[in-house]
Amino acid sequence: MAKLTRRERIRKKHLRVRKKVFGTSERPRLSVYKSLKHIYAQIIDDTKGVTLVSASTLDKELRDKLAELTKTEEAREVGRLIAKRALEKGIKKVVFDRGGFIYHGRIKALAEGAREGGLEF
């Protein structure tokens, strides 16, 4: 049997998580993806298939602030930014989708930043 690559293992876990996690218009899904350099977050309404809000370490709004931070601190800032943008659009409650990644480190920091920003999971 062939050994799975890192990306294939994460994809399988993500599909397993997505069976249980579904975003509605009242409670959309906060989806997280991380690469080796960056972290991305989107708030998605799965009933319509529309991204309502997004934020990442590539945003111009954060770029200057992130230069001297660690990756975990960057993730927390992305969480705060997505929470701020979500509250501006009237979104307060979300379902957290960790995207197949283990809930610790940068994923946990993003979730905590979003909670600090005012989102409820």
Extents of the domains making up the chain: 30-117
Q: What is the value of pTM for the model shown? A: 0.86
Closest C-alpha to 119, from 94, 88, 85: 94
pLDDT at 37 over 90: yes
Mapped onto helix, strand or coil, the DSSP state of residue 40 is strand
Class of 30-117 in CATH: alpha beta
Share of the chain above pLDDT 90, in %: 64
- Highest average pLDDT, of 3-12, 43-52, 108-117, comes from 108-117
- The average pLDDT across 75-91 equals 96
pLDDT of residue 75: 96
User: Could you give the count of Cα atoms lying within 13 Å of 31 in the half-sphere of its Cβ?
Assistant: 22
pLDDT at 1 over 70: no
pLDDT of residue 24: 75
